[in-house]
Amino acid sequence: MTYYKKFDSGLRLIVKKIEGLWSVSTGIIVGTGSTFETDGENGISHFIEHMMFKGTDKRTAFEISDAMDRIGAQVNAFTSKEITCYYSKSTSDHAGEAFEILSDFFLNSVFPEDEMEREKGVVLEEISMTEDTPDDLCFDVLAQAFYGNRGYGRSILGPAKNVSSFTRENLLEYIQKRYAPENIVISFAGNIDEKYAEELVETYIESKIPKRKREDRKPEIFYPSQSLFKKKDIEQVHFALAFPSFRRDDKMLDAGNLMNYVLGGGMSSRLFQKVREQLGLAYSVYSYISAYTECGSLIVYAGVNPQSAEKAFAAVRGEISRLCKDGITEEELVRGREQLRSSLILGQESTASQMLVYGKHLLFTDEIFDFDARVSAIDTLTRDDVARAIDVSFREEKMAAGAVGKLDKPFLLH
């Protein structure tokens, strides 16, 4: 059963009740992330997420963690390009207590100056960790090559100089603009009564959240079609290609996902079989689709020996060309449909997954996620649907590449 409520402030609630479980996952999902930041703000969404845990008028940073531990609950948060999510998972009998704690730091964090200075050091170390994690760094380089240095091309962590300069006033000003009720969804998934969930939200959020309008920001989108690299003295070359793909609400997204599965989504995929199993050029090679509100991208990644980098790059391009020329087989269609279908069904068994699926769908579409309709759409996919997805996705004039490793020049795209 799915329950939906929109409050007077614009705040929205979604409850996916799953009986027979003993747990509940709860998320407070805000429609903001690095995509909506300005140059000077880049990194602030992520830094605010960190600072939310550093104390309220009621609890210190330790007391927030201790209060969750005392009821056996888990609490965490993450920032992406389009959302910031604060979430908890608890047993059903402690769902109310967990939500009160979650609501307290979400609404009442005071951002102490001493905690801010300490947390800047933590985030700067996180930035350094990304620099030492070449596949993560490769995707950051690729995002800039594909989208440029604005909007979806911005890194989530932001540059170190921005993080070092953030003030308490900067954080409060950004929250004032982006943490408006109409830009927030509260999502519950698990064994919880929907009326009890509504009562919790009314008591701890709706009755207390400042009533204000969201500052609308449209991300800038352009495709510079660059090939960029970052030289690193490491054992592998990590490279990735990006092509335009489908937005989150595009009716062709399921066909795109099936196409992606055939290309690089599993161990039977063409990229895995060709680049790893037949040629032995990579341990890790795969592809995926990132579907956003305004745009999307299909990304292919591989980590290879520097001496084999050009050969592996050519092999990846070759498999993409073969897919564009020949399409997919009937066997690949059947296998792909089953993989997409089972992935969707298995996700129903995770409260954390359902909390995000239903919460994000409501946030971005203002509609309730229709699981049965999605399964039906997958079941009816045809080879012609996938052929159209291939034609839309692989546009060479908008292709981009990013690489990290012992390189002296970027990969040639044309």
By annotation, the residues acting in catalysis are 49
Residues 6+ apart with CB under 8 A from 373: none
Beta strands in 261-362 (DSSP E): 282-291, 296-304
Residue type, 203: T
Give the separation between CA 290 and CA 340, rounded to whole angstroms: 15
Q: Which residues of 382-404 are buried (b: 16+ CB within 10 A; e: fewer)?
A: eeebbeebbebbbeeebbbbbbb
Backbone φ and ψ for 230, nearest 5 degrees, come out as: -130, 120
Residue 127 burial by Cβ neighbours in a 10 Å radius (0-12, 13-18, 19+): middle
Give the separation between CA 406 and CA 306, rounded to whole angstroms: 7
The answer to whether 201 touches 13, Cβ cutoff 8 Å, is: yes
Give the ranges where 94-226 is alpha helix by DSSP (H): 95-108, 113-131, 134-147, 160-165, 168-178, 194-201
Question: 260 — alpha (psi -120 to 50), left (phi > 0) or beta?
Answer: alpha
Q: Which of these, 55, 8, 413, 412, lies nearest to 209 by C-alpha position? A: 8
* CA distance from start to end of the chain: 52
**Residue 190, beta-bridge partner list:** 17, 24
Give the separation between CA 249 and CA 259, rounded to whole angstroms: 17
Give the separation between CA 293 and CA 35, rounded to whole angstroms: 11
Q: Which of these, 400, 398, 388, lies nearest to 258 by C-alpha position? A: 388
In the three-class reduction of DSSP (H, G, I as helix; E, B as strand; rest coil), residue 124 is classed as helix
Q: Nearest 10 degrees: CA dihedral of 340, 388, 384, 374? A: 30
